[in-house]
Structure 1
Amino acid sequence: MHIEQNILDKVNEWLTPTFDNDTQDKIKVMMTSSPKDLEESFYKNLEFGTGGMRGIMGVGTNRINKYTLGKNTQGLSDYLKKSFPSENLKVVIAYDCRHNSDTLAKVVADVFSANGIKVFLFSEMRPTPELSFAVKHLNCHAGIVLTASHNPPEYNGYKVYWQDGGQLVPPQDGEIIQVIENLKYSEIKFESNEDLIEYIDADIDAAFVDSTVKNASFNTSAAARQNLKIAYTSLHGTSIKMVPKVLEAAGYTDINIVPEQAEPNGNFPTVISPNPEEPEALTMALALADKINADIVFGTDPDSDRLGVAVRDNNSKMILLNGNQTMAIMTHYLLEQWRKAGKLNGKQFIGSTIVSTPMMLELASAYNVECKVGLTGFKWIAKFIKDFPDLQFIGGGEESFGFMVGDAVRDKDAVGAILLMCEIAAQAKEKGGSVYQELQQMFVDFGFYKEHLISITKKGIEGANQIKQMMIDMREKPVSEINGQRVIMVEDYQNSTARNLLTNELETLSVPKSDVLIYYLEDGSKICARPSGTEPKIKFYFSVNVAIESMDEIPAAEKQLDIKIKNIISEMQLN
């Protein structure tokens, strides 16, 4: 096959003495036996997306390896020195259960220390939210976690956190990327200064547990906590290090762990995907729940920032909640607790994203707080906390099964969110109710909102081009009607415009540019299209709603909304 010259130039660079013999040997094998893999490995440089940098492990510029991560770390070291010229620099590094995460974390630590930067390195795998917490707790200038979240086993990744414990956001991200791009691989300092590397574990664990219990506990009685029966799975990931400790510290004693999934394992052998967004991932936890008659089920992704939740419905059957439902339940509970405590004075806010349920706006309005809505990715919610220091952050989430309670952690946090959901469930059970009934009452009070997500996978160079073309087509051939409803507003975040199709008025969007299109229909429906920033997918988000006056109307209303979503998908030819 023909390979472009620019790709061959990169390949030849990686065959120079800057790169170790093992790397060169692997490239030579690909050159003769698998030119397609060679092209995929070198056709571009790995990029920072919505969740940092993620990619398949292997040799090449488009792969996760010691050189691509070393270059990132060298660039970040140079940027830190420039940004804090008179300070003794400190960073903290964590990693998850994935293959090579521990060795790649040590490579990253070596490069930082070789640049004279003090490194705190977790001695074992830890949840991502604990890394975010540790950045502030240890007064570090930056933090790194080696994780690919819920991606398949062949992936790994590199997420960068700043002084506030939040992920990189503008302008730092662009500036750091520029420094990295201008570096040569030969400039990476790999020779570590072991005196600057300090291993951390128990002390930070204890501080993280204390902080989580303080932030996510709300006066639940000891009896109610002991009476809640919990089924939990870590899906072979890092949450096993912290979730049981936090729940026990808070007073929950009936914690039942799925034994087959408790052992950390980068192959994730018992699931198709270690993603709690996928119903299949919680199959074993649901089976355990039925066996022991548990009240609630939790499952977390490998780095413990996402959580899946299942609760019993009015017929005592376990049902999975989606990310929009869990974040609405938790946000509503937090707002009610703050109201009862007399802490709401108009200077508080909750956070959400442009692809998440509009019910968050209804909740904010009902409690007289602001709902700040940002782009997809929790880094934008963390940025709101930093940008608006005069406002108190109550909590917030996104549809992709992430939530954050307060601001001690500045990223989605399954550990704190699980404790919060236990508080909600324990208190509801003590009153003779359930989490499910709480959600049903919210549908009556704030509107019955139903969301649905379709993800279309398009892998490799060809797939990336197909996704790009799909977004181009939607922009060049805009629709004016969907499912018999007029499109009244189109928001194009790539162009930063919001066009009212009824008046033809054009407004400028204030959020940063992103490749996202959102259609608003006259019946209140919302449709969003965006390429994933972390996976080879294009995603379509649907939100529909209807007003109801009692819980009795829910079954009929749900059928109505299901049909509406099905019709929209059919008309858009996405099925």
Structure 2
Amino acid sequence: MSNLDQATQSRVNQWLSTEYDKDTVAKVQQLIDNKEETELLDSFYKELEFGTGGLRGIMGVGSNRINKYTLGKATQGLANYLKNQFPNQQIKVAVSYDSRNNSQSLGHLVADVFSANDIHVFLFENLRPTPMLSFAVRHFNCQSGVMLTASHNPKEYNGYKAYWNDGGQLVAPHDTNVIAEVNAIQSVNEVKFNRVDSNITIVGEEFDEIYIQANKRLSINPAAVEAQKDLKIVFSPIHGTGITVVPKMLEAWGFTNVIVVDEQAKPDGNFPTVVYPNPEEEDAMAMAKKRGQELGADVIMATDPDADRVGVAVRNLKGDYELINGNQIGSLLTYYVLSSKKDKGELKDNDYIVKTIVTSNLISDIGTGFGVKYYDTLTGFKYIGEVITRELGKENYLVGGEESYGFLIGDLVRDKDAVNSCAFIAEMTAYFKSQGKSLYEVLVELYGKYGFYKEKLISLTKKGKAGADEIKQMMIDLRANSPKSLGGVAVKEIRDYENLVATNVISGETSVIDLPKSDVLQFITVDGDVISARPSGTEPKIKFYCSVKESLLDASQYETISSKLEEKVENIMADIVK
């Protein structure tokens, strides 16, 4: 076809060959017959790539789509790499899946390929959250694991998260090495699809209790839970896996008044009550928020389809229910864990916390305030998991998180865990309620103590090959013509994580950034504002983050300072988001 380059046309031709089943060939031919050149280009212009969250893409035919062949190749490549890394061993992997359309069938396909490669598979009998997959990798002493999910993406997406033997998602060098093995597969005929039943062990509902009890032992203030056991909690799984474990977890911790949003309780890959199953979105939280308002809930929580992210709504200072953002949730959890452990005399010299570079510095300020070390990582919880594994036996991980609503308390897993977070958010709410405080009031106290932080995220969606090219060009332009000021405030430092160089704009001095390479730019103003630009590794988006800060000397100034900071954020974003 006229608009297809040679490499793309070659991939199309390959998918028309007898290597692929008749139904797949027919669908590709239909795209050609209907002259759907844009769809053909987007489906075949590249091989589906590993990003910050593994493989993720739109379901359909093509090398750049999620289907049995792309996931078959990914699994065969991973199997080949595992055999190279663990020779003369019985290799074990865990496999789970969420509520998305085709997740179960794709999960079974992945298990089939592993089993055909003489790898023993612990396959979850029914859908379960991503953090339980990470927990299972460690529990069963597996060398790897795979979770079928596209997290909070729209319904047309699915994905493939690959895990290493520590229970964390693949990081260097394993991520690039696995990709090399996948790319080395020249034909889908090399993929072993024929299931070997004797190599598969089914993981049933009994595993829930092992995970739940392990988490319950992390509880810091069980007495506060007992005192507030009738805490009114509204929970929505947004048609995802959270329904399988979150209510049971809250019950096991001692909470007796958990109200599930019935309309969103049933797992459904079409996500019929929301446009976008992301608890960051007002729309996705609307039903839970409405139910909470009707019942006068103490806390409202909702998890995304694979239950690794959690959104929270609480009463604000005016008595209205308000969604608090990921930076605020992470800051509250960090403060709760550190202050509670300090009160109990349990803080240790080797304790530490972790956040990502685009997450609020309020979290690191809280850590510093308690004399607790903090680490900054690249965006993606796999990097937080990498720190936990690296420091194991030397330092003691307490809590970590990222602004995109992913948190983990304790080191039972190596990924963000919304089930674990729901339990701790409920316990935290109970603890502060016993002191006569709401979570929002505690948040205002934190702003008074450490500084009033205001953050905003803007995401621009750019779909397909044209969108990917546009995003790439936007980052090139930002590097070539970096802003001298943002929102009328001079930029004093530019951090380029692709080239690993931090430049002091005023003095011209440079320093090396001690992190892996990543396509991220950060601009630091003379006021200490932090503005970041980052193409998403999981969605066809470019994201712009802004964080500003000012002193809050008295709670009575809250609304005034909030409005002032909001205006500053809007002015900064207007300058950088073009």
Q: TM-score range by the shorter chain?
A: over 0.9
Question: Which stretches in structure 2 are left out of the alignment for 5+ residues?
Answer: none
Structure-2 residue corresponding to 1:66: 68
Aligned residue among 249, 260, 263 for 1:260: 263
Distance 1:519 1:140 in 2: 42
Residue deviations 1:492-542 (CA, integer Å, cap 9, x gap): 001000001122111111100010000000111110000111111110000
Structure-2 residue corresponding to 1:99: 101
Distance 2:226 2:179 in 1: 52
TM-score by length of 1: 0.98
Q: Give the letter for the 2:120 counterpart.
A: K
Distance 1:248 1:467 in 2: 46
Q: How does 1:200-239 map to 2 (within 5 A)?
A: 200-239=203-242
- 1:334 partnered with 2:337: yes
Distance 1:8 1:288 in 2: 52
Aligned residue among 543, 546, 554 for 2:547: 543
Aligned residue among 379, 385, 409 for 2:382: 379
Distance 2:450 2:257 in 1: 33
SS at match of 1:8: helix
Q: CA deviation at 1:8?
A: 1.4
Report if the CA contact (8 A) 1:225-1:253 is conserved. Answer: no
Distance 1:315 1:223 in 2: 28
Q: CA deviation at 1:303?
A: 0.3
Distance 2:150 2:121 in 1: 22
Structure-1 residue corresponding to 2:305: 302
Report if the CA contact (8 A) 1:160-1:167 is conserved. Answer: yes
Q: CA deviation at 1:223?
A: 4.2
Residue deviations 1:457-508 (CA, integer Å, cap 9, x gap): 1111111111111100000011222222211110000100000112211111
Q: Give the letter for the 2:436 counterpart.
A: G
Aligned residue among 407, 413, 419 for 2:411: 407
Distance 1:9 1:495 in 2: 34
Residue deviations 1:262-318 (CA, integer Å, cap 9, x gap): 000000000111000111111111111111111110011000000000011233211
Residue deviations 1:13-67 (CA, integer Å, cap 9, x gap): 1122221111111111111112322221111011011111100111110001111
Residue deviations 1:205-249 (CA, integer Å, cap 9, x gap): 111111122224522335433231011110000000000000001
Q: In 2 relative to 1, CA 573–169 (structure 1 residues): closer, same or farther, beyond 3 Å?
A: closer
Q: CA deviation at 1:367?
A: 1.1
Q: How does 1:520-531 map to 2 (within 5 A)?
A: 520-531=524-535
Distance 1:250 1:101 in 2: 30
Structure-2 residue corresponding to 1:38: 40
Structure-1 residue corresponding to 2:90: 88
- 1:480 partnered with 2:504: no
Structure-2 residue corresponding to 1:157: 159
Distance 2:77 2:226 in 1: 53
SS at match of 2:547: strand
Report if the CA contact (8 A) 1:220-1:426 is conserved. Answer: no
Aligned residue among 272, 279, 296 for 1:276: 279
Q: CA deviation at 1:409?
A: 1.4
Q: In 2 relative to 1, CA 216–143 (structure 1 residues): closer, same or farther, beyond 3 Å?
A: farther
Structure-2 residue corresponding to 1:468: 472
Structure-1 residue corresponding to 2:15: 14
SS at match of 2:162: strand
Q: Give the letter for the 1:8 counterpart.
A: Q
Distance 2:139 2:40 in 1: 43
Distance 1:276 1:195 in 2: 40
Distance 2:91 2:530 in 1: 46
Q: Give the letter for the 1:481 counterpart.
A: S
Q: CA deviation at 1:68?
A: 0.6
Report if the CA contact (8 A) 1:517-1:529 is conserved. Answer: yes
Structure-2 residue corresponding to 1:441: 445
Q: Give the letter for the 1:144 counterpart.
A: V
Distance 1:572 1:93 in 2: 42
- 1:505 partnered with 2:509: yes
Distance 2:74 2:135 in 1: 22
Structure-2 residue corresponding to 1:108: 110
Percent of residue pairs bearing the same amino acid type: 45
Structure-1 residue corresponding to 2:26: 25
Q: Give the letter for the 2:224 counterpart.
A: S
Structure-2 residue corresponding to 1:391: 395
SS at match of 2:275: coil
Report if the CA contact (8 A) 2:220-2:341 is conserved. Answer: no
Question: Which stretches in structure 1 are left out of the alignment for 5+ residues?
Answer: none
Q: In 2 relative to 1, CA 137–225 (structure 1 residues): closer, same or farther, beyond 3 Å?
A: farther
Q: CA deviation at 1:573?
A: 5.0
Residue deviations 1:399-448 (CA, integer Å, cap 9, x gap): 00110111101111110111101111112212221111111110111111
Q: In 2 relative to 1, CA 209–345 (structure 1 residues): closer, same or farther, beyond 3 Å?
A: closer
Q: Give the letter for the 1:317 counterpart.
A: D
- 1:124 partnered with 2:126: yes
Distance 1:314 1:562 in 2: 17
Distance 1:131 1:225 in 2: 31
SS at match of 1:242: helix
Structure-1 residue corresponding to 2:248: 245
Report if the CA contact (8 A) 1:220-1:423 is conserved. Answer: no
SS at match of 2:279: coil
Q: How does 1:112-191 map to 2 (within 5 A)?
A: 112-184=114-186, 185-191=188-194
Q: How many residues align?
A: 574
Q: CA deviation at 1:338?
A: 2.1
Q: CA deviation at 1:128?
A: 0.4
Report if the CA contact (8 A) 1:227-1:426 is conserved. Answer: no
Structure-2 residue corresponding to 1:360: 363
Q: Give the letter for the 1:490 counterpart.
A: I
Report if the CA contact (8 A) 2:544-2:577 is conserved. Answer: no
118-127 or 362-371, which deviates more: 362-371
